[in-house]
Every structure is written in structure tokens, then in C-alpha cells.
Amino acid sequence: MDDRRFIEGLPKAELHIHIEGSLEPELMMALAQRNGVSLRFPSIEALRAAYRFSNLQDFLDLYYEGMRVLLHEQDFYDLAMAYFRKAASQNVRHAEIFFDPQGHTGRGVPFRILIDGLSRAQADAERQFDVSSSLILCFLRHLDEADAERTLDEALPWRDRFIGVGLDSSEKGRPPRLFERVFARARGLGLHAVAHAGEEGPAEYVREALDLLKVERIDHGNRALDDTGLIARIAREQIPLTVCPLSNLRLCVVPDLEDHPLRRMLDEGLMATINSDDPAYFGGYMNENLAALRLSRGDMMTLARNGFRAAFCDEASKQRHLEALNAYGLSGT
């Protein structure tokens, strides 16, 4: 079979997807109309044409603007169901999904509205598509730690609806150390911890995320490759990196995909995984991200295996997914 069909059939886990970043222009326009929210773009084409970014902040400005159309429980449900439908069509078997509550509560949308919509979609996706999923609550790092603390307080009545906390948004000048206390509290509550680090920020931020926030996975982590000591540690401790090739390209984190650091990560024995980040904005979901790097089948199998190994799901599910993946590898080549 050709590479495209091999990628399509490959069983996958997605560990780095912002649900708000899966808001396709068509749904954004439909929700704007449904909710009477005005957008400054006259058409879907005009909106899509604005998706040309020079850096992370360029993108984030549009990302926060776009999420203004999300107001009601049904909106969050529709958003997540659209993602699950797409993920299922690409044979994503398990997804760990970021959401940005402060992007909504800051606009007056109660936490209960968004969590209920997302949770209802998760349950329906499990039934309809056999895709399992968990939610990871991300703190926006351009806001201060007190805001993150309040967000965690607000979320605690729904503690059983999410499995971990993350850290996202503008990275430069916002080091992980600013969020040490709120991460300690979250970990004390039994939540998993992950953080975006080394996307635009330096290798030092990756080190801080590990040492101070005590995260179990690093989201992106590209800049860790600038520091040989850090590379050795990430390899030795097999700390998963959730890498997002098309995101890196669209946000000018890498100049082109031929030189993408993923190849070096695999050569160095790092536990890299492939993910889509904000697929509606960056031109591709899981399959497009895998195809973009033109990898060998062996490397694609390694990346898919790493995705399931690095997931926070229970051991029995992990083994079941890994066995299905191995069977595919034996039959699919």
C-alpha cells in the first residue's frame, strides 16, 4: 500500500490538540451567525486568508478572537464533536485534549457551560466513534499565577472531568517558574502536569518545566535540542515530547519541514510524538502532520507507538492499543 493509505490506517493517539484550535472557519462563521456575534471577516475565504502568521503571538491574537463565537454549551459540544468526527476518520483511537478556560471565563462564559459541552461530546464520541479521550486544563501564561489559581478553584467542582493541567499561550518572557505554586497545588490534587516549553522560548524553559513544574511531558520541546545536557536527560528519562510539525512551520518556529528537529529527536532516542496542535489554523490534522515529514514506515510506527506509550490512559487500554498497532505494522507494510 502507498504511504498515504498506510498513514490513514495507522492507529494513533493525539496528545497535543487545543480544542479551540480545531474551530474550522465554517463552524466559526455558523456559530457567529447562530449567536449574533460579529466577526471582522466578511467570508470564510477572507478568514482563511488571514491564517498567515509570522510567530506564535500573531496566531494567538486570531485564536482568541475566533473563540468569541463560543458562548453556549451546545457550541462547545459542536466544536468537540467536529474534532472527534475528524479524528475518528483518521483512525485516532485516543485523544488528550487541551482546553483554555480563561479564554472563555474571561469573556463571561461560566466554566460549567464549557465543561458540560466538552464532556457530553466526549461521551458521545466514545459511543459513536469508539474514540476515548481525556481533558487537560491549560493555564494561559500571559495571565498571572493568581488568575491561574482562581481558574483551578473554579474548576474543582468538576475535578473528575479533567485529568491534568497544562501551560500554554505566549511563551517569550513568561517562564514556567511563574507558575510553580499553582502546578504544585494541581499535582497535589492528583492531576497530571504538562507544559508548553521550548516552542519559541529557550531550552532553559524546558528545564524549568521539568524541575519546577515537575511536568510529565513537554509540549513542543524543540529548543531543548540547543542544550546537549538537556537532550541527554530527556533521552535517559524518556520524557515524552508532543511535537507539532505543521504548527512549527506555520508559526515560523522552523524554516521548512526538511529541517524539522523531529528527525534529530528520533536519532537522539527521544520519545517524540506527532500531534496537530491547532489543526484548523495550521492546515492539517494528525494524518497531514505525519505525511508532512516524509518519514520511513519504521519511524512512523515508532511515533505512533510513542503516542500510546506517552498517553495518560490506563495500562490495559495502552496495551490494547499497542497490540493493535503492532498487528497493523505486521500486516500493513
Examine residue 73 and tell whether it contacts Zn ion (CB under 5 A).
no
Examine residue 21 and tell whether it contacts ligand ADE (CB under 6 A).
yes
String of contacts with Zn ion for each residue 259-288, x by CB under 5 A:
------------------x-----------
Examine residue 289 and tell whether it contacts ligand ADE (CB under 6 A).
no
String of contacts with ligand ADE for each residue 136-175, x by CB under 6 A:
--------------------------------xx------
Written in H, E and C, the secondary structure of 278-293 is: CHHHHCCCHHHHHHHC
Which CB, 251 or 325, lies closer to ligand ADE? Answer: 251
CA distance 266 to 258: 14
Which one, of 164, 156, 102, 107, lies nearest residue 137 by Cα?
164
CA distance 307 to 318: 10
**Residue 91 and residue 10 in contact, taking contact as beta carbons nearer than 8 Å:** yes
Active site residue 204: no
Examine residue 199 and tell whether it contacts ligand ADE (CB under 6 A).
yes
Examine residue 196 and tell whether it contacts ligand ADE (CB under 6 A).
yes
Examine residue 119 and tell whether it contacts ligand ADE (CB under 6 A).
no
**Residue 154 and residue 126 in contact, taking contact as beta carbons nearer than 8 Å:** no
Which one of 14, 199, 204, 208 is the catalytic residue?
199
Q: Is 158 exposed, middle or buried (0-12, 13-18, 19+ CB in 10 A)?
A: middle
Examine residue 22 and tell whether it contacts ligand ADE (CB under 6 A).
no
Q: Which residue is nearest to Zn ion (CB)?
A: 277
Examine residue 56 and tell whether it contacts ligand ADE (CB under 6 A).
yes
Distances (CA, A) of 329 to 40, 76, 93, 129, 332: 47, 36, 16, 22, 5
Tell me the number of residues near ligand ADE by CB under 6 A: 11
**Residue 203 and residue 230 in contact, taking contact as beta carbons nearer than 8 Å:** yes
CB of 33 to ligand ADE, least distance (A): 25
CB of 210 to Zn ion, least distance (A): 18
Which CB, 77 or 282, lies closer to Zn ion? Answer: 282
Which grid cell is 17?
490538540
CA distance 156 to 301: 38
Which CB, 117 or 198, lies closer to Zn ion? Answer: 198
14 binds, among Zn ion, ligand ADE, none (CB under 5 to 8 A by kind): none
Which one, of 276, 220, 218, lies nearest residue 243 by Cα?
220
Q: Which of 90, 133, 222, 247 is the binder for ligand ADE (CB under 6 A)?
A: 247
Which CB, 292 or 301, lies closer to Zn ion? Answer: 292
Which grid cell is 291?
505525511
| Active-site annotation, residues | 199
Residues that bind Zn ion (CB under 5 A): 277
